[in-house]
Structure 1
Amino acid sequence: MPADLAVIGLGPYGLPLAKAAVAAGIPTLGYGTGPEAGSLSPAELRRMLSGGFRHATSAAELGRVRTAVICPPTPPGADGGLDLGQVEAAARALAPRLRPHTTVILESPVPPGTTENVLRPLLEAGSGMRAGRDFHLAYSPSRVDPGNRDFTPANTPKVIGGLTPACTESAAAFYGRLTDKVVRARGLREAETVQVLETNFRHVNIALVNEMAVLCHDLGVDLWDVIRCAETKPFGFQSFRPGPGVGGHAAPQDLTGAAGRTLRMVELAQQVNSHMPRYVVQRAAALLNEHGKSARGARVLLLGVTYKPDLADQQSTPAQEVAIRLLELGASLSYHDPYVASWSILDRPVPRADSLYEAAADADLTILLQQHRTYDLQGLSVKAQLLLDTRGATPTGAAHRL
């Protein structure tokens, strides 16, 4: 079966797109660009294969599609900016196979200007064609929220910005097959900057509540009650929750490389959020001390080591730094996570607790880092000697909360 769509990059952005396309009845070809962070259950893979998905074994197969979406990850680079290496590799793989009238869309998080200044030259040089004349070129921010059951690709509006109006309309026609609503941006840079704003909005607001968590603890104020009351305001407020740090694939962007300046609010938010694992460990050490125990030699159980609840994804999980800092204090660590069969810190395996309640009862301190649905927090609060809840998930008074 010939494919209508090629998804280049089957990681956190490409795999959800491929699943949505197959669900919409679009024959889809998947092509990897590097180490993939996405995963499929055997049942999901069977559904995709039966629905028209194929995994490309050669880049030559990319020349047989009408639409190609480039969406590999762009992790933080050594210089603090985003590493565009996989995007460039995807462009080089596609360019020699590009056919006239193909629609090429970039979905990876990138600095504004990347589609026109990085992707376009690679595609034109490798294909001998011109974007906007011989093939369509557009950008669409990825709006993936893993594990969210309320918002799917079908009911999440898609923003499109093209090199030309015709490019925008071609990309909009494709996404109109996947979603109920397509929003047209003025151009490529506007669409790219939508991604920057959406990502930074999350990081800045999480930083605000993280700072509030520290302040409220110092003041003896119940932050979680403050949030509960504040979110009843029907205008001018959106609720966010503090936590042990910010994980995930979308890194905050300060636009230094793109605009020659720094967004000071984003820079400060990064500082605040990156401090949270250290703050959690400080709170843990203080709790142990208050109960006559030292962090050195203390048995500490970490609950939930993924970056998001009910998923196996460990990308940038704050559990890593929390564990490292506890080990530096001399603590003896174990962990429990229903989605992570084995876990290592600094190339050293961390013992996995088989019996959750027994492990919590045996540990000097249990720290809830991620709130998986399978955790009976009321039961855990009874069994644990000491429980530090960094997610505000336990019943009031059942644990020490961040």
Structure 2
Amino acid sequence: MPIKELDARIAARTARVGVIGQGYVGLPLALVFREAGFPVLGLDVDPAKIAAISRGESYIKHIGPDRVKAAVESGQYTATTDFERLRECDAILICVPTPLGPHREPDNSYIHSTAEKIAKQLRPGQLVVLESTTYPGTTDEEVKPLLEKSGLRFGDDFLLAFSPEREDPGRKDFSTKTIPKVVGGVDEASTRAAAALYGAALENVVPVSSARVAESCKLLENVFRSVNIALVNELKVIFDRMDIDVWEVIRAASTKPFGFMPFYPGPGLGGHCIPLDPFYLSWKAAEHGEWARFIELAGEINTRMPRYVVQKVADALNGDHKSVKGSRVLVLGLAYKANIDDDRESPSYEIIELLREGGAVVDYCDPYFPKTHRTRKHDLGLASVPLDAATFASYDAVVVATAHELFKDPKLFRGVRLVVDTRNMIPALVQGSGGPRVVKA
């Protein structure tokens, strides 16, 4: 199919959309295109995910199984591990991980391997869009040459664009369909085709002049959050030394109706974006002889927060005439933020490991994760303890790492002696109730 026919197929919603990666980004994206009337092919290397989808099941909490079941039963959404089927697709959307290496260097190996798989099946008339967060230049400098190994030529035979994912798991006020979608092509034709594709399924598309602008846009969004979170984390430490509650300070500052945007401290950064993406830009900046000092400093502050929390636990236990070694500590929450089943880059893992290194006996409670699973960095081998007051009371200290709604029952803390609270969750629950001693961290 020549490129000029692609627009007509998009307009008629007969273009088959292939979504590579059926995780937190790819699965909701595939469902939105199916719900907009497009035939969709979901691809993933994990057979367990494909089997679950084929059964009409969802493995992501905030994506209801009814949506997956309806998509599968429509006959227009098929999940597969067979990448040879990419030839069936008119548009191919890449939603694969972009982690950091052991020295905080970008790891684009998933993008590269995926582009190589696409190249083996690439045919004339296809549009390829990269959604994985990466540094500026990846789409045109790395993905395009890999696709051209197919023998096809960009612009003449296929189109290529970048459109950053903006998923925020568990959010109620915005969804994949309603979050504005930035789109930038390697050339104007690619921008037009990608904008037309997303515009047929999403409510608001924002075309930009190039793939590099679109790549940079996502990095700016996450650098902005990383730097501001680092600022309040640093202020938390400073104000703590001054015996000032940073949370009260933020509440007071938030009453200003202009010129201030509240950010909140925590035990460290989690999720796939903010802990990782800024370093893609600082690495690329160094390649051009520039140094992203704000990014590096923010990273330094945020990554030391788990150690700060563990030190606060040690100090709090000392106040009870106990040492970390031998103390029983319960960490509340493995998820990186409240009310979701996503533990990617969660600081809870490091907090647990640091407490263990100090000799503590550590458990966790998070009903969203009945058991821990092996991650790229951690393998705790733990199971969640029961969510009840008797269990909580059996520990020397309870550390609030994630403010799940299900942790906000005051009755859970009636027998607890010490809480180290990183989320400002406890005071409102136990105020005036003779509850535990609360130490903010």
The TM tier, using the shorter chain, reads over 0.9
Which residue does the alignment assign to 1:401?
Answer: 440
Gaps in structure 1 of 5+ consecutive residues: none
* 1:13–1:144 Cα contact (<8 Å) kept: yes
- 1:341 aligned counterpart, secondary structure: coil
**1:227 to 1:36, Cα distance in 2 relative to 1, 3 A:** farther
Which residue does the alignment assign to 2:389?
Answer: 357
- The match for 1:171 among 175, 179, 194 is 194
Q: Once the 2 structures are TM-superposed, how far is the Cα of residue 47 of structure 1 from its aligned partner? A: 2.7
Moved more, 249-258 or 114-123: 249-258
Which residue does the alignment assign to 1:258?
Answer: 284
Q: Once the 2 structures are TM-superposed, how far is the Cα of residue 361 of structure 1 from its aligned partner? A: 1.1
Cα distance in 2 for partners of 1:382, 1:215 equals 31
Read off the aligned partner of 1:342 and give its amino acid letter. K
* 2:398–2:418 Cα contact (<8 Å) kept: yes
Read off the aligned partner of 2:306 and give its amino acid letter. P
- The match for 1:366 among 393, 398, 403 is 398
Which residue does the alignment assign to 1:376?
Answer: 408
After superposition, give the CA deviation of every residue in 1:183-207 in whole Å (9 maximum; x if it has no partner). Answer: 1111111111011111111111111
After superposition, give the CA deviation of every residue in 1:329-351 in whole Å (9 maximum; x if it has no partner). Answer: 11111211011111379645335
What percentage of residue pairs aligned between the two structures are identical? 39
Which residue does the alignment assign to 2:227?
Answer: 204
Cα distance in 2 for partners of 1:47, 1:213 equals 47
Verify: 1:88 aligned to 2:112, yes or no.
yes
After superposition, give the CA deviation of every residue in 1:202-252 in whole Å (9 maximum; x if it has no partner). Answer: 111111111111111111111111111222222222211111110111213
Read off the aligned partner of 2:250 and give its amino acid letter. I
Cα distance in 1 for partners of 2:293, 2:88 equals 46
Q: Trace 1:3-402 onto structure 2 (pairs within 5 A).
A: 4-33=16-45, 39-40=59-60, 42-51=65-74, 52-126=76-150, 128-250=151-273, 251-254=276-279, 255-259=281-285, 260=287, 261-343=290-372, 347-350=379-382, 352-396=384-428, 398=431, 399-402=438-441
After superposition, give the CA deviation of every residue in 1:42-65 in whole Å (9 maximum; x if it has no partner). Answer: 544313312422112421211111
Cα distance in 2 for partners of 1:215, 1:139 equals 41
Read off the aligned partner of 1:39 and give its amino acid letter. Y
After superposition, give the CA deviation of every residue in 1:329-386 in whole Å (9 maximum; x if it has no partner). Answer: 1111121101111137964533532242112111111111101111224233433111
* 2:42–2:79 Cα contact (<8 Å) kept: yes
- 2:407 aligned counterpart, secondary structure: coil
After superposition, give the CA deviation of every residue in 1:291-337 in whole Å (9 maximum; x if it has no partner). Answer: 22221111111111111222222211111111111111111112110
Q: Once the 2 structures are TM-superposed, how far is the Cα of residue 99 of structure 1 from its aligned partner? A: 2.4
* 2:266–2:423 Cα contact (<8 Å) kept: yes
Cα distance in 2 for partners of 1:149, 1:75 equals 27
- 2:229 aligned counterpart, secondary structure: helix
Cα distance in 2 for partners of 1:348, 1:244 equals 19
Cα distance in 2 for partners of 1:291, 1:348 equals 28
Q: Once the 2 structures are TM-superposed, how far is the Cα of residue 151 of structure 1 from its aligned partner? A: 0.8
* 1:309–1:370 Cα contact (<8 Å) kept: yes
**1:163 to 1:48, Cα distance in 2 relative to 1, 3 A:** same
Give TM-score, length-normalised by structure 2: 0.86
**1:219 to 1:354, Cα distance in 2 relative to 1, 3 A:** same
Read off the aligned partner of 2:293 and give its amino acid letter. R
Q: Once the 2 structures are TM-superposed, how far is the Cα of residue 90 of structure 1 from its aligned partner? A: 1.2
- 1:253 aligned counterpart, secondary structure: helix
* 1:213–1:242 Cα contact (<8 Å) kept: yes
Aligned residues, how many?
401
**1:377 to 1:388, Cα distance in 2 relative to 1, 3 A:** farther
